[in-house]
């Protein structure tokens, strides 16, 4: 039994390690600036908007619906939640607004 465990350990060390990477939104996706609250609207991600997005990271979203591509800060007062398409964006925007205080 020890021999089997000993032979298994080196092979486990050879397995590739998955590296975590930051999610990257692309032009043509949709998002909204959730810090705008009731004024937030779904907008298409344009190349111009992409240049403003910084510090993108994974986001759990606002409900049990579609999961976002990323949450990206544009400034200290602006943070976009990005989705694959307009329907997903609108669904989650509606969820966020329905749960607002």
Asked if residue 51 is part of any domain, the answer here is yes
Give yes or no for a contact between 84 and 22, defined as CB atoms under 8 angstroms apart.
no
Q: Which has more pLDDT, 22 or 15?
A: 22
Asked if residue 46 is part of any domain, the answer here is yes
pLDDT > 50? residue 73: yes
Instruction: Write the pLDDT tens digit of every residue in 82-94.
Output: 999 999 999 999 9
Q: With cut-offs at 50, 70 and 90, classify the pLDDT of residue 21.
A: low
Q: Which domain holds residue 54?
A: 22-98
Q: With cut-offs at 50, 70 and 90, classify the pLDDT of residue 22.
A: confident
CA 77, distance to chain mean position in Å, is 18
Asked if residue 9 is part of any domain, the answer here is no
Asked if residue 17 is part of any domain, the answer here is no
Model pTM above 0.85: no
Asked if residue 90 is part of any domain, the answer here is yes
Count how many domains the chain has: 1
Among the residue ranges 12-21, 71-80, 92-101, the one predicted with the least confidence is 12-21
pLDDT > 90? residue 26: yes
Cα dihedral 69, 70, 75, 76 sign:
positive
What are the φ and ψ backbone dihedral angles of 61, each rounded to 5 degrees? Answer: 85, -165
| pLDDT value for 69 | 93
Asked if residue 55 is part of any domain, the answer here is yes
């Amino acid at each position: 039994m020890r021999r089997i465990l000993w032979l298994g350990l080196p092979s486990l060390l050879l397995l590739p390690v998955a590296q975590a990477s930051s999610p990257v939104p692309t032009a043509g996706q949709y998002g909204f600036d959730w810090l705008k609250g009731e004024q937030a609207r779904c907008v298409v991600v344009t190349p111009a908007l992409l240049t403003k997005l910084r510090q993108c990271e994974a986001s759990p979203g606002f409900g049990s619906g579609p999961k976002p591509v990323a949450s990206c800060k544009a400034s200290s007062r602006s943070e976009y939640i990005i989705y694959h398409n307009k329907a997903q964006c609108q669904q989650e925007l509606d969820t966020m607004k329905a749960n607002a205080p």
